Structure 1
């Protein structure tokens, strides 16, 4: 196992295009780090720099306390699993897994033991004599993981390993990777654009945009306390509702003016006026997760003091099985609510929702930064 330290790292290509702009990330031995963001945010470039496949323009990368900026990939004791699997089509599964062991001249008997151990761990021991063309996508991904595991490295790097799989297989392989990490306790750095993978797999998440880490922390902290509008909208499915309105005083507290098209009023917020004083009387953006805008059944675990009724006109409903998504308008903005299916909402009818403001967040519309 090894810790990972990325300190003030920049990457600029020879044509002058900046890709990474002062990235700082620290994880401990055995932690699972997720690098998440949209296309072009720099996450894969950062992974390649950790692997030694890209050079560092400025800054420092340490693995296990050792600076690796100038080390070649083979000297970093890492193993990488690619999106494309990168298997040799003419070799059997056994040969693919043991390929790196052969290169390092590991004795044949030890190779056989390692291949047996790894294939049993990944439940592919019955596939050892097949070739990649005879395997499903999930099986090929397991073989690619097996080849990395056979190396017994101090760190695993995964570059969007599940993006070529169908939805059902992605869920299965997510569980496999999580179980693998729990079994081995090895440090993992995992790149994805899928925020559900990020939330379910990682001990720590770095949310990236335009070469900058927008927020770094534990999954639940990022979900509950996003640092800006981008993070709030990127993490969560369905994403957080953003309701723009005027912030007004309510005694010693504050509220936001709301208009649902059915009723107008003020939604009281759990912030003291002194905390958000500069924003009082100004337009703000209220962030509210869909599960915090729900019905009585959905809000059963909330404190009654945090719940406020809000009557809306239902535009569209989307039943998902365990719950139903209700789309309506608040302050002219389409919002989504997560309600219990037994509430049986109907399109084009009025419905009373309960706003649980205990996890509400406020953003500044001009800077997009969180203010409360």
Structure 2
């Protein structure tokens, strides 16, 4: 039995279906990310797991218990909100121990738990301060400490970093990941930030308009997106989507790419047989920016790599890399190259395409073909 099991869960408000049959299961100690754009239903699903909202149909299990009809206090969960929800008139120590006091945990045990939690989160020096004396990151740590003190079966995080500035978000993301590694807790974490999803999660559930688009590990979802939405949502910069026609090529199949004065037919290395039915038809050729990089003289190319000479439209230096925009089949295509090899706009550049990770989509249904 998994730590959390969500089976065909649906939610409707006034005959409007918000969640449309969600199926997810994670094991004890796993870190699950619910990710998707605003309005996709991820926070609604978290509220239903927490017991703050009811289930229209389906089943939610925490451990071996069906919790559909249990109140939040009986579900053995702890929740961390983006608003921190700290008591302003209480010290950090009192905020962390408040839930323990309500449950009539002995004072000596409370002190032991608070000290252990403070040490885990490296905030022993903050215990006697009030929330108004803390930074945003420190307040978030206190909110996490209050949840940890409960020692629940399941931690629920509702966009906990969205109120923090960019630098602090990165720091807190690292702290949450280290905390998870140290404690081995089971976590469900809601975010709209795909970078948070990729860096934190053991499993990711990508949602859109109340439907689960794909469920898997971060690498599975990044390398093998189920559809155009998942491919575009996960990854920064986003995957390139190039309209292309399928052609026969030396007994196999490939796609024609026109850029500037040059035209190429690149083989469908990992999807050859599945494109047979698409010969002469339009597909969407998907390739990520890091799979298009600079050509280097004297460096032998693997069999799955092809080179194209393409005009540069725009460059965007990022520090460690430079993003180069080139035209292919009427679309601007982003390539990730070493700054020393980037050419200026108006110049032509030799670029290597790693076709082993290329993917193909049906332009009508937006589903993955191969």
**What secondary structure does 2:29 align onto?**
coil
Deviation at 1:275, TM superposition (A): 2.0
Q: In structure 1, how many angstroms separate the alpha carbons of the residues matched to 2:323 and 2:187?
A: 35
Aligned to 2:110: 111
**What secondary structure does 1:304 align onto?**
coil
1:123 matches 2:122: yes
Aligned to 1:10: 10
For residues 148 and 304 of structure 1, do their structure 2 counterparts lie closer, same or farther at Cα, with a shift above 3 Å needed?
same
Aligned to 1:188: 187
Aligned to 1:218: 217
Q: Is the CA contact (8 Å cut-off) linking 1:327 and 1:335 kept in structure 2?
A: yes
Q: Is the CA contact (8 Å cut-off) linking 2:253 and 2:273 kept in structure 1?
A: no
Q: In structure 1, how many angstroms separate the alpha carbons of the residues matched to 2:150 and 2:368?
A: 44
Deviation at 1:272, TM superposition (A): 5.7
Superposed CA offset, 1:4-33 (max 9, x none): 1000000001x2211100000011111110
Deviation at 1:265, TM superposition (A): 2.1
Q: Is the CA contact (8 Å cut-off) linking 1:12 and 1:20 kept in structure 2?
A: yes
Aligned to 2:291: 292
For residues 273 and 322 of structure 1, do their structure 2 counterparts lie closer, same or farther at Cα, with a shift above 3 Å needed?
closer
Q: In structure 1, how many angstroms separate the alpha carbons of the residues matched to 2:2 and 2:117?
A: 21
Q: In structure 1, how many angstroms separate the alpha carbons of the residues matched to 2:303 and 2:116?
A: 56
Aligned to 1:140: 139
Q: Is the CA contact (8 Å cut-off) linking 2:78 and 2:147 kept in structure 1?
A: yes
Deviation at 1:323, TM superposition (A): 0.8
Deviation at 1:171, TM superposition (A): 0.8
Aligned to 1:246: 245
The gaps in structure 2 that reach 5 residues or longer are: none
Deviation at 1:251, TM superposition (A): 1.9
Deviation at 1:341, TM superposition (A): 1.2
Moved more, 275-284 or 158-167: 275-284
Q: Return the match for 1:346 from 344, 347, 361.
A: 344
Q: Is the CA contact (8 Å cut-off) linking 2:2 and 2:26 kept in structure 1?
A: no
Q: Return the match for 1:314 from 309, 312, 315.
A: 312
Q: Is the CA contact (8 Å cut-off) linking 1:31 and 1:187 kept in structure 2?
A: yes
For residues 303 and 358 of structure 1, do their structure 2 counterparts lie closer, same or farther at Cα, with a shift above 3 Å needed?
farther
**What secondary structure does 2:268 align onto?**
strand
The aligned runs of 1:1-372 (5 Å cut-off) are 3-13=3-13, 15-271=14-270, 273-296=272-295, 304-372=302-370
Q: Is the CA contact (8 Å cut-off) linking 1:116 and 1:125 kept in structure 2?
A: yes
Q: In structure 2, how many angstroms separate the alpha carbons of the residues matched to 1:303 and 1:102?
A: 66
Q: Is the CA contact (8 Å cut-off) linking 2:137 and 2:168 kept in structure 1?
A: yes
Q: TM-score, normalised by structure 1?
A: 0.96
For residues 93 and 304 of structure 1, do their structure 2 counterparts lie closer, same or farther at Cα, with a shift above 3 Å needed?
same
Superposed CA offset, 1:45-102 (max 9, x none): 0000000001000000001021000000000000000011111111111111111011
For residues 161 and 284 of structure 1, do their structure 2 counterparts lie closer, same or farther at Cα, with a shift above 3 Å needed?
same
Work out the number of aligned pairs and report it: 368
For residues 359 and 272 of structure 1, do their structure 2 counterparts lie closer, same or farther at Cα, with a shift above 3 Å needed?
closer
- Across the aligned residues of Structure 1 and Structure 2, the Cα RMSD in angstroms comes to 1.4
**What secondary structure does 2:295 align onto?**
coil
Q: In structure 2, how many angstroms separate the alpha carbons of the residues matched to 1:252 and 1:134?
A: 71
Q: TM-score, normalised by structure 2?
A: 0.97
The gaps in structure 1 that reach 5 residues or longer are: none
Q: In structure 1, how many angstroms separate the alpha carbons of the residues matched to 2:33 and 2:160?
A: 12
**What secondary structure does 1:278 align onto?**
helix
Q: In structure 2, how many angstroms separate the alpha carbons of the residues matched to 1:38 and 1:184?
A: 30
Deviation at 1:273, TM superposition (A): 4.6
Deviation at 1:262, TM superposition (A): 3.1
